Chain A
Amino acid sequence: MEKSLAELNKAASRSTSSLPPEPVDIIRSKSCFRRVRLNVGGLPHEVLWRTLDRLPRTRLGKLRDCNSHESLMEVCDDYNLEENEYFFDRHPGAFTSILNFYRTGKLHMMEEMCALSFSQELDYWGIDEIYLESCCQARYHQKKEQMNEELKREADNLKDREGEEFDNACCAEKRKKLWDLLEKPSSSVAAKILAIISILFIVLSTIALSLNTLPELQGTDEFGQSTDNPQLAHVEAVCIAWFTMEYLLRFLSSPNKWKFFKGPLNVIDLLAILPYYVTIFLTESNKSVLQFQNVRRVVQIFRIMRILRILKLARHSTGLQSLGFTLRRSYNELGLLILFLAMGIMIFSSLVFFAEKDEEDTKFKSIPASFWWATITMTTVGYGDIYPKTLLGKIVGGLCCIAGVLVIALPIPIIVNNFSEFYKEQKRQEKALKRREALERAKRNGSIVSMNLKEAFARSAELMDVVVEKSERPHDNHLSPSRWKWTPKRATSETSSNRSFNAQELGSPSKGRPTSPQRLNVQKLEEMYNQMAKTQSQPNFNAKDRVSRVGKQRDEIELGAIQDHGPPVLGTREGVGDMKSLSSIDSYISCATDFQENPRFLHSPALDLGHQESNCYSYSPATALSQHASAKTGQRTAGEREPMLTPVPVTKSSCTETARKFFFSGNSSKSLTPKGGCHSEGESGPSPLSDSSVMSDHSLLSPGTSVYTTASSRTPPKTPESTTLAPTVFTFHDSSISKYIDADTDDDEHLRDISDTSPSERLLASGSPKRNINKNYQRGANHLEAAQKMLGQNCLFPLEGIRGITHENHIGPEMARRPKVERGRQNTLDKGL
Chain B
Amino acid sequence: MWTVPKPRYRAGLCAEGEIAVNIGGVRVVLFGDVLNRYPDSRLAELLNCSSQNAEVISSLCDDFDPGRKEFYFDRDPDAFKCIIDVYYFDEIHIKSGICPICFIKEMEFWKIDQSVLDECCKSYLNEKEEELKEIASKVKVILEDMEVEQCTTRTQRCQRFLWKLMEKPGSSLPARVIAIASFLSILVSAVVMCVGTIPELQVTDADGKPVEHPTLEAIETTCMLWFTAEFLLRLASSPNKLHFVLSIMNIIDFMAIMPFYVVLSLTYLGTSSMMELANVQQAVQALRIMRIARIFKLARHSSGLQTLTYALKRSLKELGLLLMYMGVGIFVFSALGYTMEQSHPETLFRSIPQSFWWAIITMTTVGYGDIYPKTTLGKCNAAVSFLCGVIAIALPIHPIINNFVVFYNKQKVLETAAKREVELMELKSGREARRKSRN
Contact = CB atoms under 8 A, between A and B. Distances in A.
Interface string B274-299: 00000000000100110010010010
A228 B364 CA distance: 44
Interface stretch (A202-210, A402-410, A764-772, A802-810): A402-410
Contacts of B357: 394, 397-398
Contact of A384 (B369, B405, B421): B369
A410 B295 contact: no
Contacts of B4: none
A310 B194 CA distance: 38
Contacts of A133: 99, 101-102
B408 interface: yes
Interface centre among A48, A142, A383, A401 (most CB of B within 10 A): A401
A402 B99 contact: no
A398 B304 CA distance: 25
Q: How large is the interface on B (under 10, 10 to 19, 20 to 34, 35 or more residues)?
A: 35 or more
B292 A387 contact: no
B25 A37 contact: yes
Contacts of A347: 292, 295
Interface string A368-388: 110100001100111110010
B76 A103 contact: yes
A410 B365 CA distance: 18
A137 B101 contact: no
A815 B142 CA distance: 36
A343 interface: yes
B304 A383 contact: no
Given A110-B97, A350-B292, A367-B193, A35 B63 contact: yes
Contacts of B366: 376-377, 380-382, 401
A520 interface: no
Contacts of B364: 380, 398, 401-402, 404-405
A135 B98 contact: no
A367 B295 CA distance: 14
A137 B420 contact: yes
B241 interface: no
Contacts of B295: 343, 346-347
B335 interface: no
A130 interface: yes
Interface string B198-237: 1100000000000000000000000000000000000000
Contacts of A368: 194-195, 197-198
Given A48-B74, A410-B311, A111 B368 contact: no
Contacts, number: 202
B99 A111 contact: yes
Contact of A96 (B76, B304, B400): B76
A106 B105 contact: yes
Interface string B390-409: 00010001001100110011
Contacts of A103: 24, 74-76
Contact of A110 (B25, B98, B128, B427): B98
A598 interface: no
Interface in A658-712: none
Interface string B99-111: 1111001100000
Interface in A4-19: none
B193 A350 contact: yes
Contact of A108 (B99, B193, B414): B99
Contacts of A404: 364
Interface string B227-262: 000000000000000000000000000000000000
Interface centre among A51, A134, A397 (most CB of B within 10 A): A134
Given A35-B72, A45-B25, A410-B400, A134 B132 contact: yes
Nearest to A369: B198
Given A111-B99, A353-B197, A346 B361 contact: no
A132 B420 CA distance: 9
A46 B106 CA distance: 17
Contact of B360 (A104, A131, A397): A397
Contacts of B194: 346, 349-350, 366-368, 371
A112 B292 CA distance: 51
Contacts of B85: none
13 contacts: A38-B25, A46-B22, A108-B102, A130-B423, A138-B416, A335-B304, A339-B298, A357-B197, A366-B197, A367-B193, A387-B370, A401-B361, A414-B405
Task: List 5 tightest A-B contacts by C-beta distance, closest first.
Answer: A46-B25, A382-B366, A384-B369, A401-B364, A108-B99
Interface of B: 22, 24-26, 62-63, 72, 74-78, 96-102, 105-106, 128, 131-132, 135, 190, 193-195, 197-199, 285, 288-289, 292, 295, 298, 302, 304-305, 308, 311, 322-323, 326, 356-357, 360-361, 364-370, 393, 397, 400-401, 404-405, 408-410, 413-414, 416-418, 420-421, 423-424, 427
